[in-house]
Amino acid sequence: GYPNVGKSSLINSLKRSRVCGVGATPGVTRCLQAVQLDRHIQLLDCPGVVLDSGDPPAAAPLRGALAPQRLRDPLSPAIAILRRCPPQQVHGD
């Protein structure tokens, strides 16, 4: 699944204990982890996957692929966000 959508949190909720690490930034889950829910059901927790969409590299943070703190250039993703907004929302008109 996509990064930061709650895969690990859902597993923790179903298991009713903290068996998977969770966090607000991408990259907390670093490897595949099998969690036995009951005798018949095993769940897999895995790192988030973002497929290349052909978008410019500045769009990667918008898909949750990079933690904001790790951005070398925060201006490019900010500009990409502003380009997606209607001008009246940005200017307050």
β-strands 33-36, 42-45: how paired? antiparallel
Q: Which domain holds residue 30?
A: 7-45
Mean pLDDT (the chain) is: 83
| pLDDT (0 to 100) of residue 27 | 79
On whether residue 18 sits in a domain, the answer given is: yes
Q: Is the same domain home to 40 and 68? A: no
The structure tokens listed for 21 are 């690490």
On whether residue 53 sits in a domain, the answer given is: no
Lowest mean pLDDT among 22-26, 35-39, 41-45: 22-26
Q: Is the same domain home to 37 and 63? A: no
| pLDDT (0 to 100) of residue 11 | 96
On whether residue 2 sits in a domain, the answer given is: no
The better pLDDT of the pair 16, 79 is held by 16
Domains held by the chain: number: 2
On whether residue 1 sits in a domain, the answer given is: no
pLDDT(93) > 60: no
Is this prediction's pTM over 0.85? no
Give the residue-averaged pLDDT of 71-87.
82
**Cα gap 5→17, rounded to integer Å:** 19
Q: DSSP character for 5?
A: S
Question: Which of 31, 37, 29 minimizes the C-alpha distance to 12?
Answer: 37
On whether residue 51 sits in a domain, the answer given is: no
